[in-house]
Amino acid sequence: MSGPSSSDGPDEVTAPTAERVEQLVREAIAAFAQATTAADLNTARLAHTGDRSPLALANRGIGQLPPADRKDAGRLIGQARGKVNQALAARREEVEAAELETMLQAETVDVTVPVELSPVGAVHPITGLIDRISDVFVAMGWEVAEGPEAEAEWLNFDALNIAPDHPARGETDTLFVDPPEAGVVMRTHTSPVQGRTLLDRELPVYVVCPGKVYRADEFDATHVPVFHQIEGLCVDKGITLGHLKGTLDHFARATFGDVRTRIRPNYFPFTEPSAELDLECFVCHGDSVGNPDRPCRTCSSEGWIEWGGCGVVNPRVLIAAGIDPEVYSGFAFGMGIERTMMFRNNAADMRDMVEGDIRFSRSLVGGAR
Ligand code: PHE
């Protein structure tokens, strides 16, 4: 009879027991559970479901089982492989989710962590105020002009009708550049830019000139030997004192807000008539005037504070620049920037403006600009 004989081998192949198969399933699931990375899981997958895994080998052995055993063995092993594959898929999802979570955590940017910001710096309050004022005039179509700080004595004085015997020319006020006979001074005001402008530019001119000026002055709360002015000069046909007043009113309001102004007669050799522009006292608004019970230190109970000089350009200045005063006229003004900052930002001591202490600049942030 044909049939497997004990010497052929196949009858040595026996169907795996249910316990054995269950054990293989448990081992596989345990190995998957231990794997915490995709790489580990892949190793476990090869070991428990790969071609050489016990279950795969058992599956392959089914064909060699006695035909009567094959069906049960096939079901047993098939179910076992199904369980193992399900467990693998479930574990793969877990491992991938965990890996994604780890990666997201590693890449998280905590926007609430305090950052160490290094200060970016800022323009000095005086520069900021100069820019701001220049903008007011540029917006009206004026130009910004500049001139040297070491200036010809002739432009600083003579061209402005300041005679050689004028007290302002004395050595007590003016810093002369060595040697004195060279005729160079540190400009005592920005007004020499008037002469430069009239000599250099075509008429009409509408210019402002901000810059440093030098005086042999005290260094105290209201005087510094080097300070800043902004000069204004307009020369055109038909310019009157009314234009001056209107322009300065606009300048005052753009700088200080709603403030009343007045012009008061004064004398400057280079303007005729000349005036001082006063601002209504921003502390007492005039309430201290004639009211000894409520004195005001800011305006000395006068109700007004002096802002700067102004006037109609003296025809002599026009003539010195070769301009016919019968055809052209103009006005000029000059304001101290530090003084403007004192009023505008309530800065009581001018020395703060030059000493460079950043706490002063910071206190003006949002005020000076
Ligand atoms: N230069 C004058 C001063 O320094 C100010 C001024 C400028 C006056 C222009 C009149 C016209 O005091």
**DSSP notation for 109-129:** --TTSPP-PPP-----HHHHH
Tell whether domain 125-367 is in CATH 3.30.930.10.
yes
Backbone torsions φ then ψ of 103, nearest 5 degrees: -65, -45
Cβ(232) – ligand 1 distance below 6 Å? no
Q: Are the beta carbons of 365 and 119 closer than 8 angstroms?
A: no
Cβ(311) – ligand 1 distance below 6 Å? yes
Cβ(189) – ligand 1 distance below 6 Å? yes
Cβ(187) – ligand 1 distance below 6 Å? no
Q: Are the beta carbons of 95 and 53 closer than 8 angstroms?
A: no
Q: To 10 degrees, what angle do helices 125-138 and 337-345 make?
A: 100
Short-list 197, 217, 232, CA closest to 307:
232
DSSP string across 135-155: HHHHTTT-EE----SEEEHHH
How is residue 181 annotated by DSSP? G
Digitized pLDDT (tens) for each residue of the chain, 369 residues in all: 444 444 444 455 688 888 999 999 999 999 999 999 999 999 999 999 999 999 999 998 898 988 888 899 999 999 999 999 999 999 999 999 999 999 999 998 888 888 878 877 888 999 999 999 999 999 999 999 999 999 999 999 999 999 988 887 877 789 999 998 999 999 999 999 999 999 999 999 999 999 999 998 889 988 899 999 999 999 999 999 999 999 999 999 999 999 999 999 999 999 999 999 999 998 899 999 999 999 998 899 999 999 999 999 999 999 999 999 999 999 999 999 999 999 998 888 999 998 888 888 888 864 444
Does the N-terminal peptide bond of residue 204 adopt cis geometry, omega within 30 degrees of 0? yes
Closest ligand 1 atom, residue 194 Cα: 9
Longest dimension (CA), the chain: 151
Place of tokens 């910004």: 144
pLDDT at 173: 86
How is residue 9 annotated by DSSP? S
Does the N-terminal peptide bond of residue 325 adopt cis geometry, omega within 30 degrees of 0? no
pLDDT at 228: 97
Cβ(336) – ligand 1 distance below 6 Å? no
Candidate of 162, 233, 251, 270 to mutate for ligand 1, largest count of ligand atoms within 8 Å of Cβ: 270
Structure tokens at 114: 């305090």
Backbone torsions φ then ψ of 301, nearest 5 degrees: 60, 30
Residue with the smallest CA separation from ligand 1 atom 12 is: 309
Instruction: Read off the amino acid at residue 202.
Output: E
* Domain ranges, ordered by start, for the chain: 18-106, 125-367
Q: Are the beta carbons of 275 and 268 closer than 8 angstroms?
A: no
Q: Are the beta carbons of 176 and 142 closer than 8 angstroms?
A: no
Structure tokens at 168: 């302002």
CA 13–ligand 1 middle distance (angstroms): 120
CA 326–ligand 1 middle distance (angstroms): 23
Candidate of 196, 268, 307 to mutate for ligand 1, largest count of ligand atoms within 8 Å of Cβ: 268
CA 146–ligand 1 middle distance (angstroms): 16
CA dist 146 and 342 (Å) reads: 24
Closest ligand 1 atom, residue 308 Cα: 5
pLDDT at 121: 81
pLDDT at 225: 93
Q: Are the beta carbons of 208 and 144 closer than 8 angstroms?
A: yes
Q: To 10 degrees, what angle do helices 18-34 and 54-61 make?
A: 150
Q: In degrees, to the nearest 5, what angle opens at C-alpha 134 toward C-alphas 130 and 137?
A: 150
CA dist 135 and 210 (Å) reads: 12
Pick left, alpha or beta for residue 262 (phi over 0 → left; psi -120 to 50 → alpha; otherwise beta).
beta
Share of the chain residues as helix, strand and coil, in percent rounded to the nearest 5: 45, 20, 40
Backbone torsions φ then ψ of 117, nearest 5 degrees: -90, 125
Exposure class string for 353-369: b at 16+ Cβ within 10 A, else e: bbeeeeebbebbeeebe
Closest ligand 1 atom, residue 232 Cα: 9
CA dist 36 and 45 (Å) reads: 13
